[in-house]
């Protein structure tokens, strides 16, 4: 995580965490990995990416490590780890489970579509560097 935080400029076009750009990165992954339908939604301080397929079904480490994404080209990586590093909260849901990845479980989170293949939701606001 420290590497990501110290090199934020390498991961976002403007050089700083942009939650809307991050939602677009995650949506692109879902499409590249086989989803036919992807939706990005904004709900207050949360952004959610929902797809008809579980694009991370074979990528269990996507929320805990920099994970190669060779389908997008050389030197590409899955973007979910960026949500964990830079946002204050992350939740993912599949048809089988809802999992809090990061954040306070009492913070109201978006309702996941239990009929979707996967939803990844993250907070627009960034994680405080002080807390780390």
- Compute the distance between CA of residue 17 and CA of residue 82 in angstroms, rounded to an integer: 9
Average pLDDT over residues 78-101: 93
* pLDDT 10s digits, 65-80: 999 999 988 889 999 9
* pLDDT 10s digits, 7-42: 999 999 999 999 999 999 999 999 999 999 999 999
83 vs 60, residue with greater confidence: 83
Per-residue tokens: 126: 């960034």
Distances 78 to 50, 58, 75, 100, 108 between C-alpha atoms, Å: 16, 12, 10, 18, 26
What per-residue confidence (pLDDT) applies to 125? 82
Examine the pLDDT at 131 and tell me if it is beyond 90: no
Examine the pLDDT at 130 and tell me if it is beyond 60: no
Average pLDDT over residues 87-114: 80
């Amino acid at each position: 995580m420290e590497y990501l935080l110290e090199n934020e400029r390498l991961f976002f076009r403007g050089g700083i965490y942009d939650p809307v750009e991050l939602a677009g990165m995650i949506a692109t992954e879902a499409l590249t990995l086989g989803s036919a339908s992807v939706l990005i939604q904004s709900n207050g301080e949360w952004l959610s990416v929902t797809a008809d397929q579980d694009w991370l079904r074979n990528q269990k480490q996507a929320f805990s490590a920099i994970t190669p994404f060779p389908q997008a080209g050389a030197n590409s990586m899955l973007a979910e780890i960026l949500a964990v590093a830079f946002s204050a909260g992350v939740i993912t849901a599949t048809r089988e489970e809802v999992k809090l990845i990061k954040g306070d479980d009492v913070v109201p989170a978006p309702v996941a579509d239990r009929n979707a293949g996967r939803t990844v939701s993250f907070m627009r606001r960034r994680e405080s560097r002080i807390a780390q």
